[in-house]
Amino acid sequence: MLVAEIFQRARALGVAIPAFNIPYLPMLEAVVQAVVAQDSFALVEVARPEWIKFEAGGPAAVAAEFARWRSPDHVRLHLDHIPVIDEDGQRVDYLPIFQEALDLGYESVMVDGSRLPLEENIRATRQVVDLAHARNTPVEAELGAVLGHEAGEPPPYEVLFASGRGFTAVDEARRFVQETQCDWLSVAIGNIHGAIAVGRKDQKKVQARLNLEHLDRLAQATQIPLVLHGGSGIQQAYVLDAMRHGIVKINVGTEIRQPYEVAMKASGSVAQAQQAVYERTAWVLRDFLGIHGLRARLAAPASL
Protein backbone atom coordinates (compact mmCIF):
# COMPACT_ATOMS: atom_id res chain seq x y z
CA MET A 1 0.00 0.00 0.00
CA LEU A 2 1.31 3.47 -0.90
CA VAL A 3 2.06 5.98 1.84
CA ALA A 4 -0.46 8.40 0.33
CA GLU A 5 -3.21 5.79 0.79
CA ILE A 6 -2.18 5.21 4.40
CA PHE A 7 -2.42 8.94 5.04
CA GLN A 8 -5.91 9.05 3.59
CA ARG A 9 -6.93 6.26 5.96
CA ALA A 10 -5.42 8.12 8.90
CA ARG A 11 -7.28 11.27 7.91
CA ALA A 12 -10.57 9.37 7.73
CA LEU A 13 -9.92 7.83 11.16
CA GLY A 14 -9.01 11.19 12.71
CA VAL A 15 -5.56 10.03 13.81
CA ALA A 16 -2.05 11.27 13.07
CA ILE A 17 0.93 9.26 11.91
CA PRO A 18 4.10 9.99 13.91
CA ALA A 19 7.33 10.56 12.00
CA PHE A 20 10.43 9.86 14.09
CA ASN A 21 13.62 11.77 13.25
CA ILE A 22 16.95 9.93 13.24
CA PRO A 23 19.94 12.16 14.11
CA TYR A 24 22.02 9.11 15.20
CA LEU A 25 21.88 5.90 13.14
CA PRO A 26 21.59 3.47 16.12
CA MET A 27 18.28 5.13 17.01
CA LEU A 28 16.65 3.71 13.89
CA GLU A 29 16.65 0.09 15.04
CA ALA A 30 15.10 1.06 18.38
CA VAL A 31 12.37 3.13 16.73
CA VAL A 32 11.39 0.35 14.33
CA GLN A 33 11.34 -2.25 17.09
CA ALA A 34 9.10 -0.06 19.25
CA VAL A 35 6.65 0.58 16.40
CA VAL A 36 6.47 -3.14 15.63
CA ALA A 37 6.05 -4.05 19.31
CA GLN A 38 3.18 -1.57 19.63
CA ASP A 39 1.66 -2.91 16.38
CA SER A 40 1.41 0.67 15.18
CA PHE A 41 2.50 2.56 12.08
CA ALA A 42 5.04 5.38 11.71
CA LEU A 43 7.43 7.08 9.35
CA VAL A 44 11.16 6.97 9.97
CA GLU A 45 12.69 10.18 8.69
CA VAL A 46 15.91 12.11 8.35
CA ALA A 47 16.26 15.85 7.84
CA ARG A 48 19.25 17.70 6.44
CA PRO A 49 20.20 19.20 9.85
CA GLU A 50 20.56 15.66 11.17
CA TRP A 51 23.48 14.89 8.90
CA ILE A 52 24.91 18.42 8.96
CA LYS A 53 24.74 19.04 12.73
CA PHE A 54 24.41 15.49 14.12
CA GLU A 55 25.55 12.02 13.02
CA ALA A 56 22.87 10.62 10.69
CA GLY A 57 25.38 10.39 7.83
CA GLY A 58 22.99 11.39 5.04
CA PRO A 59 20.12 9.92 3.02
CA ALA A 60 22.12 6.91 1.79
CA ALA A 61 23.34 5.96 5.27
CA VAL A 62 19.83 6.16 6.72
CA ALA A 63 18.35 4.22 3.79
CA ALA A 64 20.94 1.47 4.26
CA GLU A 65 20.22 1.23 7.99
CA PHE A 66 16.48 1.28 7.33
CA ALA A 67 16.86 -1.63 4.89
CA ARG A 68 18.31 -3.72 7.73
CA TRP A 69 15.23 -3.27 9.93
CA ARG A 70 12.45 -2.47 7.48
CA SER A 71 8.93 -3.71 8.19
CA PRO A 72 6.65 -2.21 5.50
CA ASP A 73 3.45 -2.92 7.42
CA HIS A 74 4.77 -0.82 10.31
CA VAL A 75 7.29 1.73 9.01
CA ARG A 76 8.13 3.64 5.84
CA LEU A 77 11.05 5.94 5.00
CA HIS A 78 10.53 9.70 4.65
CA LEU A 79 12.96 12.48 3.69
CA ASP A 80 12.27 15.34 6.09
CA HIS A 81 13.17 19.05 5.97
CA ILE A 82 15.32 19.71 2.96
CA PRO A 83 15.48 23.50 3.02
CA VAL A 84 15.96 25.87 0.13
CA ILE A 85 17.50 28.30 2.62
CA ASP A 86 18.78 26.57 5.74
CA GLU A 87 18.63 27.51 9.42
CA ASP A 88 21.95 29.38 9.05
CA GLY A 89 20.65 31.48 6.15
CA GLN A 90 22.61 29.61 3.47
CA ARG A 91 21.20 28.58 0.08
CA VAL A 92 21.04 24.81 -0.38
CA ASP A 93 21.49 22.87 -3.62
CA TYR A 94 18.31 20.99 -2.81
CA LEU A 95 17.19 19.27 -6.01
CA PRO A 96 20.10 16.76 -6.14
CA ILE A 97 19.22 15.71 -2.57
CA PHE A 98 15.67 14.87 -3.64
CA GLN A 99 16.91 13.03 -6.71
CA GLU A 100 19.22 10.94 -4.53
CA ALA A 101 16.44 10.15 -2.05
CA LEU A 102 14.03 9.12 -4.80
CA ASP A 103 16.69 6.89 -6.33
CA LEU A 104 17.25 5.33 -2.87
CA GLY A 105 13.57 4.48 -2.52
CA TYR A 106 12.33 7.08 -0.04
CA GLU A 107 8.55 6.83 -0.15
CA SER A 108 7.76 10.47 0.63
CA VAL A 109 9.79 13.71 0.75
CA MET A 110 9.60 17.16 2.30
CA VAL A 111 10.80 20.46 0.82
CA ASP A 112 11.04 23.47 3.11
CA GLY A 113 10.85 26.77 1.28
CA SER A 114 9.32 28.55 4.25
CA ARG A 115 12.20 31.04 4.53
CA LEU A 116 11.50 32.24 0.97
CA PRO A 117 8.98 34.85 -0.16
CA LEU A 118 5.69 33.22 -1.13
CA GLU A 119 6.28 33.33 -4.89
CA GLU A 120 9.71 31.71 -4.57
CA ASN A 121 8.40 29.08 -2.15
CA ILE A 122 5.70 28.17 -4.67
CA ARG A 123 8.26 27.85 -7.49
CA ALA A 124 10.72 25.79 -5.46
CA THR A 125 8.03 23.50 -4.10
CA ARG A 126 6.56 22.97 -7.56
CA GLN A 127 9.99 21.87 -8.82
CA VAL A 128 10.13 19.16 -6.17
CA VAL A 129 6.51 18.15 -6.75
CA ASP A 130 7.18 17.67 -10.47
CA LEU A 131 10.27 15.60 -9.70
CA ALA A 132 8.62 13.41 -7.04
CA HIS A 133 5.23 12.97 -8.66
CA ALA A 134 6.98 11.49 -11.70
CA ARG A 135 7.91 8.67 -9.26
CA ASN A 136 4.42 8.59 -7.70
CA THR A 137 5.95 9.93 -4.48
CA PRO A 138 4.01 12.35 -2.25
CA VAL A 139 5.52 15.71 -1.31
CA GLU A 140 5.22 17.59 1.95
CA ALA A 141 5.86 21.34 1.90
CA GLU A 142 5.92 24.07 4.53
CA LEU A 143 4.29 27.47 4.71
CA GLY A 144 4.65 29.78 7.68
CA ALA A 145 7.51 29.96 10.17
CA VAL A 146 7.97 26.98 12.50
CA LEU A 147 10.79 28.50 14.54
CA GLY A 148 13.37 26.82 16.77
CA HIS A 149 16.20 25.59 14.53
CA GLU A 150 17.80 29.01 14.13
CA ALA A 151 20.93 30.07 16.00
CA GLY A 152 20.57 32.51 18.87
CA GLU A 153 17.83 32.95 21.42
CA PRO A 154 14.28 32.87 20.04
CA PRO A 155 11.66 35.40 21.15
CA PRO A 156 9.68 34.39 24.26
CA TYR A 157 7.16 31.71 23.34
CA GLU A 158 4.18 33.53 24.83
CA VAL A 159 4.98 36.58 22.71
CA LEU A 160 5.12 34.42 19.59
CA PHE A 161 1.85 32.67 20.36
CA ALA A 162 -0.12 35.76 21.35
CA SER A 163 1.02 37.70 18.30
CA GLY A 164 0.54 34.82 15.86
CA ARG A 165 3.98 35.62 14.48
CA GLY A 166 4.90 33.18 11.73
CA PHE A 167 1.49 31.49 11.71
CA THR A 168 0.55 30.09 8.30
CA ALA A 169 -1.77 32.56 6.54
CA VAL A 170 -5.04 30.99 5.41
CA ASP A 171 -5.31 32.76 2.04
CA GLU A 172 -1.67 32.03 1.25
CA ALA A 173 -2.16 28.36 2.17
CA ARG A 174 -5.12 28.03 -0.19
CA ARG A 175 -3.14 29.53 -3.06
CA PHE A 176 0.02 27.61 -2.20
CA VAL A 177 -1.67 24.21 -2.31
CA GLN A 178 -3.51 25.00 -5.54
CA GLU A 179 -0.39 26.20 -7.35
CA THR A 180 2.16 23.68 -6.04
CA GLN A 181 -0.06 20.59 -5.95
CA CYS A 182 1.80 19.45 -2.83
CA ASP A 183 0.25 16.47 -1.05
CA TRP A 184 0.75 17.45 2.59
CA LEU A 185 1.39 20.85 4.18
CA SER A 186 3.38 21.62 7.31
CA VAL A 187 1.72 24.53 9.09
CA ALA A 188 2.63 26.93 11.87
CA ILE A 189 -0.10 27.27 14.51
CA GLY A 190 1.93 27.68 17.71
CA ASN A 191 4.27 24.71 17.26
CA ILE A 192 8.04 25.18 17.39
CA HIS A 193 11.06 23.01 16.58
CA GLY A 194 13.42 21.73 19.22
CA ALA A 195 16.65 23.71 19.30
CA ILE A 196 19.61 22.24 17.41
CA ALA A 197 22.04 25.15 17.83
CA VAL A 198 25.23 24.47 19.78
CA GLY A 199 24.68 25.25 23.45
CA ARG A 200 20.88 25.01 23.24
CA LYS A 201 20.14 21.49 21.96
CA ASP A 202 20.16 20.01 25.50
CA GLN A 203 17.65 22.51 26.85
CA LYS A 204 14.17 21.39 27.88
CA LYS A 205 11.75 22.26 25.12
CA VAL A 206 9.02 24.84 25.63
CA GLN A 207 5.63 23.26 26.34
CA ALA A 208 3.88 24.65 23.31
CA ARG A 209 0.18 24.82 22.56
CA LEU A 210 -1.80 25.11 19.35
CA ASN A 211 -4.32 27.56 17.92
CA LEU A 212 -6.98 25.02 16.91
CA GLU A 213 -9.35 27.62 15.45
CA HIS A 214 -6.61 28.70 13.06
CA LEU A 215 -5.93 25.04 12.26
CA ASP A 216 -9.59 24.57 11.34
CA ARG A 217 -9.41 27.48 8.92
CA LEU A 218 -6.28 26.03 7.29
CA ALA A 219 -7.84 22.58 6.97
CA GLN A 220 -10.90 24.07 5.28
CA ALA A 221 -8.82 26.19 2.93
CA THR A 222 -6.38 23.48 1.83
CA GLN A 223 -8.40 20.24 1.92
CA ILE A 224 -5.22 18.15 2.22
CA PRO A 225 -3.51 16.38 5.15
CA LEU A 226 -1.73 18.85 7.40
CA VAL A 227 1.51 18.27 9.26
CA LEU A 228 2.65 19.31 12.73
CA HIS A 229 6.39 19.86 12.98
CA GLY A 230 7.92 20.26 16.41
CA GLY A 231 5.57 17.68 17.92
CA SER A 232 7.78 17.04 20.96
CA GLY A 233 6.73 19.03 24.01
CA ILE A 234 3.28 20.13 22.80
CA GLN A 235 0.64 19.63 25.47
CA GLN A 236 -1.11 16.31 24.89
CA ALA A 237 -4.66 17.69 24.87
CA TYR A 238 -3.75 20.03 22.01
CA VAL A 239 -2.12 17.23 20.00
CA LEU A 240 -5.11 14.92 20.38
CA ASP A 241 -7.48 17.72 19.39
CA ALA A 242 -5.26 18.59 16.41
CA MET A 243 -5.75 15.06 15.05
CA ARG A 244 -9.46 15.76 14.85
CA HIS A 245 -8.89 19.09 13.16
CA GLY A 246 -6.77 18.11 10.16
CA ILE A 247 -3.31 17.10 11.45
CA VAL A 248 -2.38 13.75 9.88
CA LYS A 249 1.40 13.66 10.49
CA ILE A 250 3.32 14.66 13.62
CA ASN A 251 7.11 14.99 13.64
CA VAL A 252 8.85 13.71 16.76
CA GLY A 253 12.51 14.57 17.22
CA THR A 254 13.58 16.04 20.55
CA GLU A 255 11.41 13.56 22.47
CA ILE A 256 13.63 10.65 21.41
CA ARG A 257 16.91 12.42 20.63
CA GLN A 258 17.52 13.76 24.12
CA PRO A 259 17.00 10.38 25.88
CA TYR A 260 19.52 8.85 23.48
CA GLU A 261 22.08 11.58 24.19
CA VAL A 262 21.53 11.46 27.95
CA ALA A 263 21.92 7.67 28.07
CA MET A 264 25.03 7.78 25.88
CA LYS A 265 26.62 10.43 28.06
CA ALA A 266 25.80 8.58 31.26
CA SER A 267 26.70 5.04 30.19
CA GLY A 268 28.76 5.20 27.01
CA SER A 269 26.67 2.25 25.87
CA VAL A 270 24.90 2.31 22.50
CA ALA A 271 22.66 -0.54 23.69
CA GLN A 272 21.51 1.46 26.72
CA ALA A 273 20.94 4.53 24.56
CA GLN A 274 18.90 2.43 22.13
CA GLN A 275 16.83 1.10 25.03
CA ALA A 276 16.06 4.67 26.09
CA VAL A 277 14.88 5.46 22.55
CA TYR A 278 12.81 2.26 22.42
CA GLU A 279 11.04 3.09 25.67
CA ARG A 280 10.33 6.69 24.72
CA THR A 281 9.09 5.75 21.24
CA ALA A 282 6.74 3.17 22.77
CA TRP A 283 5.50 5.83 25.20
CA VAL A 284 4.76 8.24 22.34
CA LEU A 285 2.78 5.61 20.46
CA ARG A 286 0.96 4.05 23.40
CA ASP A 287 0.53 6.73 26.05
CA PHE A 288 0.81 10.06 24.25
CA LEU A 289 -0.82 9.48 20.86
CA GLY A 290 -2.83 6.36 21.75
CA ILE A 291 -2.22 4.68 18.38
CA HIS A 292 -0.87 1.32 19.53
CA GLY A 293 -2.59 -1.57 17.78
CA LEU A 294 -3.67 0.66 14.90
CA ARG A 295 -1.46 -0.84 12.20
CA ALA A 296 -4.10 -3.13 10.68
CA ARG A 297 -6.52 -0.26 10.17
CA LEU A 298 -3.86 1.96 8.56
CA ALA A 299 -1.47 -0.17 6.54
CA ALA A 300 -3.15 -3.54 5.97
CA PRO A 301 -4.94 -4.44 2.70
CA ALA A 302 -8.41 -2.98 2.21
CA SER A 303 -10.06 -6.36 2.83
CA LEU A 304 -9.10 -6.01 6.49
Domain 3-299 architecture:
Alpha-Beta Barrel (3.20)
Going residue by residue through the chain, which has 304 residues, state the pLDDT in tens, using 9 for 90 and above.
899 999 999 999 999 999 999 999 999 999 999 999 999 999 999 999 999 999 999 999 999 999 999 999 999 999 999 999 998 899 999 999 999 999 999 999 999 999 999 999 999 999 999 999 999 999 999 998 766 554 556 666 666 766 666 789 999 999 999 999 999 999 998 877 544 344 445 555 466 778 899 999 999 999 999 999 886 778 899 999 999 999 999 999 999 999 999 999 999 999 999 999 999 999 999 999 999 999 998 876 644 3
Query: Would you state the pLDDT for residue 191?
Result: 75
User: What is the residue extent of each domain of the chain?
Assistant: 3-299
Distances (CA, A) of 262 to 18, 254, 270: 22, 12, 11
Query: Would you state the pLDDT for residue 160?
Result: 72
Query: Would you state the pLDDT for residue 69?
Result: 97
Query: Would you state the pLDDT for residue 304?
Result: 37
Measured CA to CA, the distance from residue 160 to residue 43 in angstroms comes to 29
Measured CA to CA, the distance from residue 102 to residue 185 in angstroms comes to 19
Query: Would you state the pLDDT for residue 156?
Result: 67
- Is 92:77 a contact under the CB 8 Å cutoff? no
Query: Would you state the pLDDT for residue 48?
Result: 96
Query: Would you state the pLDDT for residue 145?
Result: 75
Query: Would you state the pLDDT for residue 204?
Result: 55
Cα–Cα nearest to 183, from 215, 142, 212: 142
CA 78 to chain centre: 9
Cα–Cα nearest to 262, from 219, 215, 214, 202: 202
Distances (CA, A) of 289 to 17, 99, 138: 9, 33, 24
Query: Would you state the pLDDT for residue 230?
Result: 80
Measured CA to CA, the distance from residue 212 to residue 109 in angstroms comes to 26
Residue-wise over 147-170: b if at least 16 C-beta within 10 A, else e? bbbbeeebeebeebbeeeebbbbb
- Rounded to 10°, the helix 94-104/118-133 angle is 30
Q: Which amino acid is at 118?
A: L
* Helix, strand, coil tally for the chain in percent (to 5): 45, 15, 40
| Residues labelled catalytic | 80
Q: Which amino acid is at 43?
A: L
Question: DSSP labels for 196-244?
Answer: -STTTTTSPPP-----HHHHHHHHHHH-S-EEES--TTS-HHHHHHHHT
Beta strands 75-83 and 247-252 are: unpaired
At 66 the three-state DSSP class reads: helix
